[in-house]
Amino acid sequence: MALKFNLGAKIALGIGSATTVGVGGYVANEYLSGTKITELLEKDELVLLAKGGDAGQWTKRWKEYIDKGDNKWNLSNYDTSSKNTGSAPENFKEACTYNSTKKVNDNQTDIYKEVAEFCTKGFAVSELIGKEEKIQLIAEGDSQHQKWKEAWGKYFDEVKSSDPLKLGNLESSVRTTVPSNYKTRCDEEKVKEVRNKKDPTYLTVKSWCTTNK
């Protein structure tokens, strides 16, 4: 059975000790060399959830953790807390904080992937596009018709066969006529949650649903 200490107890014991067991039963001295997970997250443009804020997102990540079904981090009182999907328990947040300080060799390490999955902030694609300096989402309305035609023309020329927006039924489409569902698919994709600008959904919207400022 994995030993379980609360975060304060682990600090008091000294996480550098060879016998110290961290959140979820990870032996602390396995994570004393390499690069801090927080630094790797920053390089991957991932944002840790704020322990004192981001309540809605903490709840979402907690439910995702529960949905995995294996209590990967061996959180205490999990049988009870997992029945409440309305808010994330403090020991889940503490586990995120604790695990994010560990050192690993690269972003392919299991504990890094777990922190990235359960402890980072999500953004609507439109929110990240809004932070771009040179591009913006194509607006609705007849005044934007030419910009939609330009976007579709590029799509037709470059990616019609792979169809990243999943428009479907493009065999009879023509370059000069924007498909009726092109704008709709852009609208559907731009509200999806992504973690960073490397996400395929973000890149699809950026490539085919935007125009220069």
pLDDT of residue 140: 83
pLDDT of residue 47: 98
Other C-beta atoms lying within 10 Å of the C-beta of residue 69: 8
Contact 81, 89 (CB under 8 A): yes
User: Which parts of the chain have pLDDT scores under 70?
Assistant: 1-32, 142-143
The full set of domain ranges for the chain reads 7-121, 125-212
pLDDT of residue 31: 62
pLDDT of residue 27: 45
CA distances from 15 to 24, 26, 71, 133 (A): 13, 11, 22, 43
What are residue 206's phi and psi, to 5 degrees? -60, -40
